[in-house]
Amino acid sequence: MFSGGSYREVERWVRNFLTSHAKRVSPRFEVDLEAGDGREGTSYGVRLVLGARVSPMVELGFREVADNRESLAWCAALAERTRGLARDLLAGQGTPDARAR
């Protein structure tokens, strides 16, 4: 049903998928998705954003996402990875920034 698609179609799908799973942890999460330019047709760079805090960059290959987005097992693993990143970022929210002292 969803397998394949153009780079832009897959970009839209991955943005919506990751946003929905990050917001299950906290509705304040946003997804910063890098696409285009040097990544066009090959990959996406994804970061979760919570206020001024940003997760590490996650690299997702275009072909990997396009070929597997109809696989329940693959989607479940990506959803759990996304929620894990969100939980980690949320847990760090209460940690004081040592550089601010």
Domain that holds residue 52: 7-90
Please indicate, yes or no, if residue 20 is contained in any of the structural domains: yes
Please indicate, yes or no, if residue 13 is contained in any of the structural domains: yes
What whole-number distance in Å separates Cα of residue 78 and Cα of residue 52?
Answer: 24
Please indicate, yes or no, if residue 16 is contained in any of the structural domains: yes
Number of compact structural domains in the chain? 1
> Which pLDDT score is estimated for 73?
98
Please indicate, yes or no, if residue 60 is contained in any of the structural domains: yes
Please indicate, yes or no, if residue 82 is contained in any of the structural domains: yes
pLDDT per position in the chain (101 positions), as tens?
Answer: 456 789 999 999 999 999 999 999 999 999 999 998 899 999 999 999 998 899 989 999 999 999 999 999 999 999 999 999 999 999 985 333 232 33
Please indicate, yes or no, if residue 95 is contained in any of the structural domains: no
> Which pLDDT score is estimated for 65?
96
Please answer whether residues 15 and 26 qualify as being in contact, where contact means their C-beta atoms are separated by less than 8 angstroms. Answer: no
Please answer whether residues 92 and 53 qualify as being in contact, where contact means their C-beta atoms are separated by less than 8 angstroms. Answer: yes
Please indicate, yes or no, if residue 97 is contained in any of the structural domains: no
> Which pLDDT score is estimated for 94?
32
> Which pLDDT score is estimated for 2?
58
pTM for the full model? 0.84
Please indicate, yes or no, if residue 99 is contained in any of the structural domains: no
